[in-house]
Structure 1
Amino acid sequence: MTDSRTTHDTVGQPSAELAELKGRVEHFIHTRVIPREPVLDAGGPAAASALRELQALARAERLWALPLPAELGGGGLPFSAYAQLAEAEGASDHGPAALGSAPLLDVTMLARHAGSRVRETYLEPLVAGRIRTCYAMTEADAPGTDPFLTRTRADRETDGSRRITGRKWFTSGAATADLVTVLARTGAAPGDREGLSLVLVPTGSPGFRIVRELPVLGAAGQYEIELDGVVVPGDHLIGEEGGALAVAGERLALGRTLRSLRWLGQAQRAFDLMCERAATRSGSRGPLADHQLVQQHVFDALLALRSTRPLVHEAVALIAAGQDARTEVGLAKVAAARLLQQVTDSAIQVHGAAGLGPDTPLPALFRGGRTARILDGPDELHITSVARRTLRAYGPRPVTPG
């Protein structure tokens, strides 16, 4: 169950229609996806089969790829409208994949910045769910927060193709991906601000390999990869040569906002579990709901939810309008990550020992909350960036002569 917040009007989508669609998404996540989480979390052939079944159901229920372009087989919802659904969809980590919206970042990036052959070859099967993509930015000695240290290279061959050499790690979903977008140097040297480009690499290419899996607090899905002289056509460059940071910045702003929306959904799920536990569990001293310290957990969690949600949707509105949203995205990302960790921690506390075991999703939600404070840039990066940007407005004003 979710709280009774009002669905806002959205450009091009009447609020009543959007509320109905959101209800259908919520129902699908809670009745179809969440019951299959143990199988999906375990990975392997059984998880792949379960995901295919869920995707078929999503198509049958007309919930497939709602934010992806209609001309490519998606639902065609504008981002401002999809943002009203993303929280419900993200209540489960598997929701976006089950409903076909997971490739939104890659579809958006390729549609805007890829050449015609790449768009014609990959976009339609990507929207249809026949192929998967991943994104490789960070290296062991070159964190994503400092891309100028990138050592992976994509050198031009005499025929115009690119030969890629290097290693990346914490590449989500690399083991099952058909394509990986790689941040690599096409010029300059590590430490220089110039010479960084994005290259689309088919994972079946000779020289591509999975080095190892990198469990995150015990959870699977992250990988270290190696590109040992992988050759791709020259037209697999995404955007202009040397223009990676502009494309990556656009992708990160959208990606951080999407994650924040999904973390809201997961925090709401933890909040609901906490309240249900408090309302139904009694001990020798009476119902948990009557305990003031439990009430404190509920109040603080509700305050955090109600305070964070407007921050996230402020970022959504600016991105949808094509405006500078760097400050709002930074605020939303930090607030949503903290929210998920705080609310899940309170829910575990109210559940007691049961909140630590395998019978609730709380351990996985808590792990997600802790991870969220590092994903897409650690809290410290966003705090510093937002503070510096804010303080510039209070600096000395230039003196006008005369």
Structure 2
Amino acid sequence: MADDVRVRRIAAMRGCDRILDGVRPKSLRERLAELSEAAGPELMPDYYGDGLVGELEDRVAGLLGAEAAVFFPTGTMAQQVAIRYGADLTGRSTVALHPLGHQEMHERRAYADLTGLRSVHPTAAPRNPTAAEIAALPEPVGTVVLELPMRDAGFVLPTWAELTEVCEAARGSGARVHLDGARLWESAPYLGHSLAEIAGRADSTYVSFYKTLGGLSGAALTGTTALAAYARLWRHRYGGQLFQQWPAVLSALVGLDRELPRVPEYVRHARTIAAALAQLPGAVVFPQPPHTHQFRLWLPHPAALLNDAGLLLAEEEKVWFTGGWRDTEIPGHAVTEVSVQSPALEWGTDEVIDTGLRLLDRVQN
């Protein structure tokens, strides 16, 4: 049943003329055509990490102001290597993580099961830890992980001063700082500093190529040349030394060329969209204004009704509003994540409100 709904949802989104949340799903033929156009007639595939992979690694290292970057097939693998490096380098088998962080919520605690590390939680508040909380840790840690932005807290970011202070506190305790920057691309406008300046606060940074940039898959880990050498060794041991990765790498390069320059525009327009959504009956938007181009929206209706209403709106009016609603601990209230990207730039305040009211009419009926 879930697969049937997913197929129906993709078909509905592909048929929409207007999309507020997310982007129109592409078919295999469309993705292949996009890659073919970007490749040109003379570009050759990579072999075990050479050629095009090296080009992407150099590009990302330059963007983040790092000595080196290493391409990984997944961010989960990249992050485990970064945390393992911190433990080996410092001799400390404990890592400071947030309970809402990606390692705890979405990586099945691989740092513990695969590497044998332990975690401590500097805070349970829905934000990154502060310098005082790092200084108050009950035991030495090898790595302090900061997620920018913190997705499961609502895509929230610290201020530049807070980020600087917590990084200094971590280093003062003898720990490395690792940035879980899967969505680092959209963090720069709020922090008011370049990607290189943000990554420069830390010892290592992970970025994703399919989040925000629209790549097929893949990630990069940046840092020193020593980290890069270590990362290549452990990437192979973890099974990440693939024979050819050119589809993912080429799509990442396309994303850097086409999407990355537009991210500040997405972030700016997210504030307009969020303010409009907040005017719907019973709506709550967080954070307000958004820190990035993504934020959370609550409505006082069950998730099933909202998902059904959104699907009907798409099929009947060819307009995609939002989807992916899930029930919360508050009875009768549901939450979703809104992602403002290229299609949403066409939406103004009045259209958001009018379409939202039509969605709610379907919920009530």
Larger RCO of the pair (alpha carbons < 8 Å, separation 6+):
2
| Largest Rg, 1 or 2 | 1
Q: Give the alignment's TM-score, normalised by structure 1.
A: 0.24
